[in-house]
Amino acid sequence: MRYSVFPGCSLEKGAAGYPYWQSMEAILKPLGVELVEVDDWNCCGATEYIALNRMAAYSLIARTLALAAKTDGLREMVAPCSACYLNLSKADKYLTDDAALADKVNVALGAGGLHYKPGTVKTRHLLDVIVNDVGYKAVEQQATKSLAGLRIAPYYGCLLTRPAVYGQTDSPEYPTALDKLMKVLGAEVVDYPMKAHCCGGHMTQISEASAFDMIRRLVKGAADYHADIIVTVCPMCQLNLDGFQGAMNRYYKGDYHVPVLYFTQMMGLAFGLDAATLGIGAEIVDARPALSRIGVQVPPPEEEAKPAHKPRRPKEALPMPVMPGSEEVEQ
Amino acid sequence: MVSVGNHPNINLMAYSEVTQVSGYVGNFTVTVRQKASYVDKEKCTGCGVCQDKCPKKVIDQAYEAGLGHRKAIYKPFPQAVPKFPVLDRENCTFFQKGTCKACEKFCESNAIDFKQQDEFVTFPVGNIVLATGFDPFDPRRIAQYGYGRLANVFTSMEFERLSSAGGPTGGKIVLRDGVTAPQSVGIIHCVGSRDKHYNNYCSVICCMQSLKLAHLIKEKTGATVYNFYTDMRTAFKDYDEFYQRVLSEGTLFVRGRVAEVTDAARLPGEEGKLIIQAEDTLIGKQRRVPVDMVVLSTALEPRHDAKEVGQRFGISGSAAGWFIERHPKLDPVATMTEGVFIAGCAQGPKDIPASVAQGAAAAARVVGKINQKEIAVEPIRASIDKDRCSACRICNNQCPFKAISYIPEKNGQRAYSEVNPALCQGCGTCVAACPSGAIAGTVFSSQQIMAQLNGLMLLNVNGASVEEKVPA
C-alpha cells in the first residue's frame, strides 16, 4: 500500500505532534504501508483561515492538493492530523461542487504554474487507512505484546468525525473504530462518553475560561471512568489535553493526571517497539506510571539544563532606566 | 378478538405467511405457509400446562419488549387469540439437545407433535386487505442517546411494559436495577422521526404517547417529568385537552432537540445521573437536565419486509416504505391494484382510532364489492391488436400489474399477448413499450391523441377570431 502523505505543520520536528510522526513511521513499516511525502507542501490553514478568507484559504489548500496530485501518480493522500484531514477533504468537496470557485482557485494556482482538477486526490485520515485498508486482522498479526491491563479512553475529537459526509468514521456522534483497534491490541477500552467532543482547539489562545472548561470535561470524563490513558488521533487534541492539563488543574484547583498518547504510539508498544523510537517520554503529563502497568520501561527524561545564573551586575555599573509599569517590580 | 376467533365465517390463520398471490380481483389465488407450531390445533384445549412445565426460559423480545421472560413453548400473552401455544424451535431443549419433551409428557390431550412440518395451503379469495402494521425504530442507531449502553435509557415500548399491571414488574415503574423508583424522568420525543438522518416523516403517535407516559409517571411515582419535544402535535378530539391536563399536573416541557444523553457528570448534582443535554429553543439556551431515567419515544417505521410484501401483492410503497393508497384524500384504503386494500400503519403512521376507522373502511369496501356481485372497472384500459402483435413478449414483463399474458401458438393460430381487462389499470407502460405499436390505450390511442392535437391547433386558425391589437 502506497500513499502520499501530508504531514502538516503540527507534525513538524520539534512540535508536540512530532512523536506522532515518529510513531507513525515506526508502525507503518511492519504493516507494509509506504508513505511518500508531498514535496513543498504548505499549511492547511488550520481551523480559522476558512472562516476569515475563503478564497485565500481554498487556494492555500488547493496548492497542496495540486502538489499531491503530482506525487508519484498517487491518488490517495494520508493526513495524520484531524484538522488537516478535514480542511483538505472539505476544500476538495467544495471545489468539486462549485465549478466557479474551482475556476477562481485555479487562476490563483496558475500564478505558481499549478492546476488542480477537483476530486483528483482523496484525502484519508491515518486512522481510516489503518482500520479500513490495513485492517484489524493485519494489525493483530503484527502485535507481539498485549496491552492487557491498561484502561484506555479512546478519544476521536470533533474534526475527524464531523461532518460525516466523507464516510471517514462509522458514526459522527459515537464512533467505535479506535475502540475496536485498541481492543484488538488487548487493551481494556472504557466506554468514554466524551469521545467525540471538542478539545477546545485554539480556544486556549482566545479564552482560557472556555478552553479549560472543555479540557476539564474531557480529562474528568476519562478520570471518572478510571482510564489510565487517553488515546488520541490528532496533535491538536494531544496538545490541549496534555500541554494544558496542568494549567487547567491550576485554574480549577483540580488534581488530574491522565497522560495523553497517540494511537500510533500504543500500536507501536503492542508491536514490541521500544518507547524511545515511538517518541514516548516527550509528553508533559507523565505516562510512565500508566505504562509501567504493562511493563513498558520509559527512559527518564533528560535532566533539564539549569538556567545559567544571571550575571551579577558589576558594582560600578550605572542604573538601568525604569520602564513604565515596572516600578513595583523594581521595589 | 375472541369474537373474531369464534366467528363461523372467519378462518383465522395465525403463525402463517402468504407466500404467493396470483389472479385478479374476485379471483385471487393465495398460497399460505402455515408454520409448524408443533401443537396439534385439533387436540389442543389451550389449558397452558405445557407452558407451566416447560423448563426453558427465554427473554421475550416481542411482547415483553425484552424486559420479561417467556417459555420455549408459549402464548404471546394470556388473552391471545387463537389460544394455542407455539413451540419456539430455536430455543426448545428437545430440538437443540434431543432430550426433555416435558410438554409432551404433561399434555393431557397429546397435542404436542414434534414431527409437524410447515404446511402450504392454497385457496381462492376475492379481495385482500393488508394490515401488516409497523416496526418500532431501533434507537441503537442514534448512539448519542445511549440506548443499549446506558442502563436507564428505555424505549417507549419497554416503558409500556414497565407500567403495565401485567408486565414484568407488576406495574411498578423502576430503574433497570429492578428496585429503585426514579425521582426524575426525561422523555425524548421524535427519536428517529422528523430527522433527516433517519426518517423525515412525523410518526404521529409519539406526542400523545409521551403525554400518556408522563401522566402515568406522575400518577404512579410522583417523579419530576421533563418532555423534550420538537412540536407538540395534539390534533384530534380531546387530545389537546389531555395535553392541558398533563401541563396542569406539573409536567415540564422543553422545546428543543436533545443533543446527547450522557453519564459524564460535569456540574455539581449531576453525579450518578443521566444528563440530557438539549437546546431550549424558546429561551435560546443550552440546558443540562440531570434525570434518573430517560424514555425514548421511538418512531414508527415501515415493516422491514414491506417492499417484498408489496411486490407479492402487486402494490407499491412510498419512498419511506409505506404502502401507497389509490388517492390520499378520496380513496385512502384502496390501492392501485383492484381488490387489494390497505389499513392501519401499513399505509402510514397513525394512532389506534385512525387504524380502527381505516380497518372498518377497508372491510366495508370489500363487503360492497361482494354485494355488487360484479366488478365495475375504469374504462381506461390497454388493448392489444392481435394482428399487429409480433409476440415479442416485451410488454409481458413491463406491466406493473401482471395484467398481460402470453398466448402460445395453437391450432395454426399465431402466438400473441393479451391484456386482462380486470387487472389492467390503464397506466400506459405497455403502450409505450410495444415496438410494433400494437397496443393502444382505450380513449388514448395514438390516433385519438393526434386528432385532439389537430383540433387544438385548428381552433385558432379557423374557429376563433383573433383580434389584432393595435398599439395605442
pLDDT of residue B353: 95
Residue B159 lies in a domain: yes
Q: Give the count of beta carbons closer than 10 Å to the beta carbon of residue A63.
A: 19
Question: Is B468's pLDDT higher than 90?
Answer: no
Report the alpha-carbon distance of residue B247 to residue A24 in Å, rounded: 58
Q: Inspect the interface and report whether the beta carbons of A173 and B263 lie closer than 8 Å.
A: no
What is the least distance, in Å, from the CA of B144 to any CA of chain A?
A: 6
Q: Which of B149, B260, B265 is closest, CB to CB, to A191?
A: B149
Q: Are residues B111 and B255 part of one domain?
A: no
Last residue of a domain, one of B357, B376, B395: B376
- Based on the fold, state whether residues B236 and B252 are members of the same structural domain: yes
- Do B305 and B238 belong together in one domain? yes
pLDDT score for B462: 57
Tell me, what's the pLDDT at A150? 93
Residue B216 lies in a domain: yes
Cβ contacts from A onto B, under 8 A: 20
Distance CA B46, CA B59 (A): 22
Would you call B200 an interface residue with chain A, using a CB distance cutoff of 8 Å? Answer: no
Is A119:A166 a contact under the CB 8 Å cutoff? no
For chain A, positions 235-294, list CB contacts with chain B under 8 A: none
Percent share of chain A, pLDDT over 70: 94
The Cα–Cα gap between A110 and A12 comes to 28
Question: Is B461 near chain A, with CB under 8 Å?
Answer: no
Question: Which grid cell is B28?
Answer: 385471487
Domain assignment of residue B213, given as a range: 127-376
Total domain count, chain A: 2
B469 inside domain: no
Residues B266, A220: C-beta atoms closer than 8 Å: yes
Return the sign of the alpha-carbon dihedral for residues B316, B320, B323, B329: negative
Going by pLDDT thresholds of 50, 70 and 90, the confidence category of residue B459 is low
Query: What is the rounded distance in angstroms from the CA atom of residue B220 to the CA atom of residue B237?
Result: 26
Q: What is the pTM of this model?
A: 0.81
Which is nearest to B209 in space by CA: B185, B188, B184, B181? Answer: B188
Distance (Å, whole) CA B347 – CA A173: 32
Task: Supply φ then ψ for residue B261, to 5 degrees.
Answer: -115, 125
pLDDT digits (tens, 9 = 90+) for B414-453: 899 999 888 888 888 999 899 988 998 887 877 888 888 8
The reply to whether A112 and A246 lie within a common domain is no
Those residues whose C-beta lies under 8 Å from the C-beta of residue A42, and which sit 6 or more positions away, are A60, A63, A64
Give chain B's mean pLDDT.
91
Question: What letter would DSSP give residue B114?
Answer: T
B470 domain-assigned: no
Choosing from A81, A98, A125, the residue where a domain stops is A125
Give the model's confidence band at A331: pLDDT under 50 very low, under 70 low, under 90 confident, else very high: very low
Residues in CB range of B67: below 8 A, 6 or more apart:
B158, B161, B162, B167, B168, B169
Determine the pLDDT at residue B472.
60
**Which residues, listed in sequence order, are joined to residue B276 by a DSSP beta bridge?**
B261, B289
Q: Give the β-pairing of B382-384 and B439-441.
A: antiparallel
**Residue B466 confidence (pLDDT) above 70:** no
Chain A residues with beta carbon closer than 8 angstroms to that of B149: 191
Cell matching residue A164: 460525516
Average pLDDT over residues B374-389: 86
C-alpha cell at A224: 471518572
Host domain of residue A280: 143-292
* B468: in domain: no
* ipTM tops 0.85: no
Q: Is residue B327 pLDDT above 60, yes or no?
A: yes
A3-17, A190-204, B375-389, range with the lowest pLDDT: A3-17
Report the CATH number at residue B146. 3.50.50.60
Count of residues making up chain A: 331
Mutate to test the interface with B, among A162, A174, A176, A230 (most CBs of B within 10 A): A174
A304 inside domain: no
In a domain, A311, yes or no: no
Percent of chain B's residues with pLDDT above 70: 97
Cα torsion B277, B283, B284, B285 to 10°: value is: -40
- Chain B partners within 8 Å of A256 (Cβ): none
pLDDT band at B354 (very low <50, low <70, confident <90, very high): very high
CA A198 to chain centre: 13
Q: Are A57 and A50 in contact (CB under 8 A)?
A: yes
Which member of B144, B263, B264 has the closest CB to residue A174? B144
Q: Closest to B262 (Cβ–Cβ): which among A171, A193, A220?
A: A193
Residues B218 and B293 in one domain: yes
